Structures are given as structure tokens and as C-alpha cells.
């Protein structure tokens, strides 16, 4: 799904995107680096598209990736109806500043 490796092994990268996806679903807005935000976008789009399907198989697929029942419930109960009419483009990335410690460009990714 993602071509960006972000300097991590496959298992670390999967865990990173899983936790970022859960955080974005629960909080609807997170601040991270710009590269991570851009790489996270396909994961969020996939989860919301699954939730819009709404059937049991889609719920189990989302639960298998997320491993967080609270996030799955919010995804299917409140986010999917919100985006029912929207075809895509569920996220917005806003560039914020440069991080002081390592000069990484930071961004806020939020659900539209």
C-alpha cells in the first residue's frame, strides 16, 4: 500500500502506521512529521472506505489491522456515516513548522 519506508524494517513500519491510524481515528487530528503524514494518508483512506461498506467482513478486516475495538467502533459508527456521500479525500495535511531538535518538517493531519 505504501512505498515510503521511512528508515524502518517492515514490522516496525507496520506498527508505526497502525498506531498512527488508531490515533487519527480516535483523536481526528494528530501532529507528526510531514513524511509520516503523507505516508499515512492511504491507510486512513483504506480504513474509511472499508467502514463505508459496513458489512461484517469489512469490520473484521478493519479490526485485523487496527487491533483496537474502540477505534473500530468509532470508525464504523461515527466516521463512516459522516463520509457516506464523499468519494475520497478524507484527510487534510497542514504544514506547521520545523522541529527544533532535528529540523524535521512537522505537519498536522486531520480528518475533513
Q: For the chain, how many structural domains are there in total?
A: 1
pLDDT tens by residue, 23-49: 999 999 999 999 999 999 999 999 999
In a domain, 1, yes or no: no
DSSP string, 32-85: EEHHHHHHHHHHHHHHHHHHHH-SHHHHHHHHHHH--HHHHHHIIIIIHHHTSS
Domain hosting residue 55, numbered range? 10-111
**Which pTM was predicted?**
0.93
Binned at pLDDT 50, 70 and 90, residue 111 comes out as: very high
**Average pLDDT of the residues in 48-67:** 96
Binned at pLDDT 50, 70 and 90, residue 89 comes out as: very high
In a domain, 20, yes or no: yes
In a domain, 5, yes or no: no
CATH of the domain at 61: 3.90.1030.10
pLDDT for the residue numbered 4: 85
pLDDT for the residue numbered 1: 66
In a domain, 3, yes or no: no
Q: What is the distance between the alpha carbons of residues 58 and 18, in angstroms, rounded to a whole number? A: 17
Using only C-alpha atoms, the chain has a radius of gyration, in whole angstroms, of: 14
Amino acid at each position: 500500500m505504501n512505498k515510503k519506508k521511512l528508515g524502518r524494517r517492515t514490522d516496525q513500519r507496520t506498527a508505526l502506521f497502525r498506531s498512527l491510524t488508531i490515533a487519527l481515528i480516535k483523536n481526528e487530528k494528530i501532529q507528526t512529521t510531514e513524511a509520516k503524514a503523507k505516508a499515512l494518508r492511504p491507510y486512513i483512506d483504506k480504513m474509511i472506505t472499508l467502514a463505508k461498506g459496513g458489512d461484517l467482513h469489512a469490520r473484521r478486516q478493519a479490526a485485523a489491522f487496527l487491533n483496537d475495538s474502540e477505534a473500530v467502533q468509532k470508525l464504523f459508527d461515527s466516521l463512516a456515516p459522516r463520509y457516506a456521500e464523499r468519494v475520497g479525500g478524507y484527510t487534510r495535511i497542514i504544514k506547521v513548522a520545523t522541529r527544533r531538535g532535528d529540523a524535521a518538517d512537522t505537519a498536522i493531519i486531520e480528518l475533513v
